[in-house]
Amino acid sequence: MTEAAAKPGSARRVRAGWARTAAWLPRATGESLLAALLLLNVLTTHPPHRLPVAVTLTAALALPLLWRRRAPLAVFAAVAGAAFVQWLADVQLPADVALLVALYTVAAHAGRRAALAAGAVVEAGALLACLRWAADGAFLTPFVAVTAMAVAAAVLGVNVRTTRAYLAAVEERAARLEREQEQQARLAVAEERTRITREMHDIVTHNLSVMVALTDAAVCAQHRSPERTTAAMLQVAETGRQALTDMRRSLGILRADEPDAERHPLPGIGQLEALADQMGSAGLPTRLDVDGGHAHIPATAQLTVYRLVQEALTNTLKHTPAGTRAEVRIRCAPGTVTVDVTDSGPCPPPPAAAPSGHGIPGMRERAATYGGTLRAGPLPDGGWGVHTRLRLGSGGAAGA
């Protein structure tokens, strides 16, 4: 590794070290102050001949507390060892409060078993201290007092650890919910993008195919029948306007007060007759047969039926020669809608080469939204057929 590459890593390590030091210093201030106060008490209350032992034991009891959060068990063991040496030396010191601080730290930062073990050690030390130093044999009162303080320190530490764990769980849950919301938002964006892509494909492909066919017919008839040419070009203009309106509606930018909104409502089963007439004008005579009322069918399901029929007829218009005829049969039942589109032309090229999400694959996606399975393929007597049955009560209907 070059020197230039090593410098950023070294700088990061230095900054991390300074950050840890800056975080440790405020916490160590309290422990330092406690140690200073205990040492000051020893210096002012003990006789000179016992001062060296008292100062040494006080330092051994108080100074390890500076590292109690980093190594709670090791610090507790050091403080307990110093307290035992103090008991052996028969020296009473206020620095014994360090045992309670160390016990609290173990209960707050270590496990429950470690806290119980540390509490047992403190209780044993309290028993030994009270047996040796209790005034006039009054053993019970100081022992109960020391035990109460030890229990209070341990309970306080356990509460702190429980609260910390609860807050960590709440933060983790909030982070998880935020990640889930972000994932749902990304999925919603992807679904909306797929929907728009599918709509754009169906709208553009169909209307451009019709416009191309009408334009070719107008070119062929411009000398023999000018009135047919005029009618075809008017139909081209109307088809273009309809395509623009459909695209703007699919992109969500169509205003409610726009005139085209009245002329081009959301396509459904009721607009299939106009679609059949349009395909007939483009050179594909289409027969429509609708069995049953469709007033009860949701608008989204009717749009799916319309797009399926539109895509099937557009494929027939693009891939079959002149003279081909098409037939559309719609069966509306209380819980289902059956769609059959057949034609009399030769089989089009296999749709497997089409990109995923367009053409036949897009029709399969639309049908699957309502629990339907689309079948598209050659018919036994010739021609091509598309069949599907939409279940209006399927779970996918709500997502349409």
Strands (E), the chain: 286-291, 326-332, 336-343, 375-378, 384-391
Complete edge-to-edge strand list for the sheet that includes strand 326-332: 286-291, 326-332, 336-343, 384-391, 375-378
Pair of tokens at residue 313: 């007829």
Q: Are residues 72 and 105 in contact, defined by beta-carbon separation less than 8 angstroms?
A: yes
Tell whether the model's pLDDT for residue 336 goes beyond 50: yes
**DSSP secondary structure code for residue 77 in this structure:** H
- pLDDT for the residue 382: 84
187: Cβ contacts below 8 Å, ≥ 6 apart: none
Residue pair 389/371 in contact by the 8 Å Cβ criterion: no
Which pLDDT value is given to residue 247?
72
Strongest mean pLDDT among 201-210, 262-271, 315-324:
315-324
254 has a pLDDT exceeding 50: no
- pLDDT computed for residue 290 by the predictor: 92
Cβ contact 339:291 at 8 Å: no
Across the range 329-348, mean pLDDT stands at 87
* Angle between helices 299-319 and 272-281 in degrees, nearest 10: 10
Q: Closest Cα to residue 329, out of 312, 342, 315?
A: 342
Nearest-CA neighbor of 108 among 58, 175, 167, 157?
157
Place of tokens 């273009």: 240
Q: What confidence tens digit (pLDDT) does each residue in 9-41 have?
A: 566 665 655 555 555 445 556 666 666 666 666
* DSSP character string of 152-184: HHHHHHHHHHHHHHHHHHHHHHHHHHHHHHHHH
Given this model, what pLDDT does residue 260 score? 52
- Cα–Cα distance for residue pair 189/192, rounded to 1 Å: 5
**58, 61, 66, 68: CA torsion to nearest 10:** -170
Band (pLDDT 50/70/90 cuts) for residue 3 is very low
Higher pLDDT residue, 221 or 104? Answer: 104
Which domains occur in the chain, in start order?
25-182 (no CATH), 282-400 (3.30.565.10)
Does 316 score more than 90 pLDDT? no
Q: How far apart are CA 332 and CA 281, in angstroms?
A: 27
